[in-house]
């Protein structure tokens, strides 16, 4: 992202892509607020380079709070096991040597 924007890439396209990811991931209020703030800060900064840093920070925040496919599957499996009243974890007995 940094290389793209620093190399003269279209900021509008990057903002649209971040907005799309934000909506696709069905984020919570705080994540939406963080990205909206990054967009607003970028528009208020006269220095393009400083603005790029703000957008990168927003993108990193979004990435850190977006679940991976693996974690979504784990969440589903846990929810399914709980709905069936299954145990999530079994305590193992200590080994004797």
Q: What are the sequence ranges of the domains in the chain? A: 2-83
Whole-number average pLDDT of the chain: 80
pLDDT per position as a tens digit, 12-31: 888 888 888 777 766 678 88
pLDDT per position as a tens digit, 28-41: 788 888 889 999 99
Q: Are 35 and 62 in contact (CB under 8 A)?
A: yes
Beta strands in the chain (DSSP E): none
b/e per residue 11-49 (b: at least 16 CB within 10 A)? beebbeebeeebeeeebeeebeebbeebbebbeeeeeee
Residues 78 and 91: their CA atoms lie apart, in Å, by 17
**Which is more confidently placed, 8 or 73?**
8
């Amino acid at each position: 992202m940094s290389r793209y924007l620093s190399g003269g890439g279209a900021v509008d396209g990057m903002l649209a892509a971040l907005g799309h990811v934000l909506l696709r991931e069905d984020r919570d209020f705080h994540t939406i607020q963080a990205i909206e703030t990054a967009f607003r800060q970028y528009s208020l900064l006269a220095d393009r380079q400083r603005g790029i840093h703000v957008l990168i920070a927003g993108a990193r925040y979004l990435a850190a709070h977006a679940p991976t496919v693996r974690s979504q599957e784990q969440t589903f499996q846990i929810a399914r096991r709980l709905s069936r009243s299954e145990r999530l974890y079994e305590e193992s007995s200590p080994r004797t040597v």
